[in-house]
């Protein structure tokens, strides 16, 4: 099957999920920085009419509702070797945790490449599915997010661990 997309209504606004063949290749917010041209998404299809897009939409909505903590989807982000290496590290950041651009650069063997890591994170075509919102600036500062800082904050708050003692009766 060729490239196609669906648009999912969420509390974060409409989200476009793009698939090519048997893999998800993109997830974009409406005013996403570096959003590809609409015509590259292929025709719009109802999620229910496409098994892959339907599953991706279901998992996304479950995640945003707090019912899903990990995604189980075939993903195929397009990027160069450095971007792929960065995205592979980003994909391993556990829910409820963050890391910095510098820490990723160090993990790749060159802590001086934090800026390059930031560029790769910003080019992530699968935000949320590859959780680039979990990458923060030095000292934990909220820095750029292709979907906007308001969405980054909302995603981090959604994933934040419950405070110690929450739900206790005594």
Tell me the CA distances in angstroms from 158 to 11, 12, 35, 70, 170, one per residue in order: 12, 12, 24, 13, 25
Contact (Cβ atoms closer than 8 angstroms) between residue 17 and residue 6: yes
The yes-or-no verdict on residue 169 having pLDDT over 80 is: no
pLDDT band at 170 (very low <50, low <70, confident <90, very high): very low
- Quickly list H helices, 36-169: 51-64, 81-90, 101-107, 114-122, 149-159
pLDDT band at 125 (very low <50, low <70, confident <90, very high): very high
Domain spans in the chain, listed from the N-terminal domain onward: 4-64, 81-159
The yes-or-no verdict on residue 168 having pLDDT over 60 is: no
Q: Is the dihedral of CA 94, 95, 100, 105 positive or negative?
A: positive
The count of residues in the chain is 170
Q: Considering the chain, what percentage of its residues have pLDDT values greater than 90?
A: 79
What is the average per-residue pLDDT within 122-130?
95
CATH: 3.90.1310.10, 1.10.10.10, 3.40.50.10420, 3.10.310.10. Which one for 81-159? 1.10.10.10
Span 36-89, pLDDT tens digits = 888 999 999 998 899 999 999 999 999 999 999 999 999 999 999 999 999 999
Token match 């959604």: residue? Answer: 158
SS3 (DSSP) at 101? helix
Q: What is the pLDDT of residue 47?
A: 84
Residues marked as catalytic: 132
Mean pLDDT score of the chain: 91
What is the average per-residue pLDDT within 13-32?
94
Q: What is the pLDDT of residue 37?
A: 86
In sequence order, which residues have a C-beta less than 8 Å from that of residue 67 and are 6 or more positions away?
Answer: none
pTM for the complete prediction?
A: 0.90
Calpha distance 81→73 (Å, rounded): 21
């Amino acid at each position: 099957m060729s490239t196609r997309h669906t648009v999912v209504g969420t509390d974060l606004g409409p989200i476009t999920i793009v698939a090519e063949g048997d893999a998800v290749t993109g997830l974009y917010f409406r005013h996403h920085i570096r959003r590809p041209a609409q015509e590259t998404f292929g025709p719009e299809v109802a999620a229910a009419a496409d098994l892959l897009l339907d599953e991706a939409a279901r998992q996304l909505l479950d995640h945003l509702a707090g019912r899903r903590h990990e995604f189980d989807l075939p993903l195929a982000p397009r990027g160069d070797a450095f971007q792929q290496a960065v995205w592979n590290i980003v994909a391993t950041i556990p829910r409820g945790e963050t890391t910095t651009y510098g820490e990723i650069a160090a993990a790749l063997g060159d802590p001086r490449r934090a800026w390059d890591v930031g560029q790769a994170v910003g080019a992530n075509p699968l935000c949320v599915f590859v959780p680039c919102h979990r990458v923060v600036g030095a000292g934990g500062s909220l820095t750029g997010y292709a979907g906007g800082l308001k969405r980054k904050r909302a995603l981090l708050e959604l994933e934040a661990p419950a405070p110690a003692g929450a739900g206790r009766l005594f």
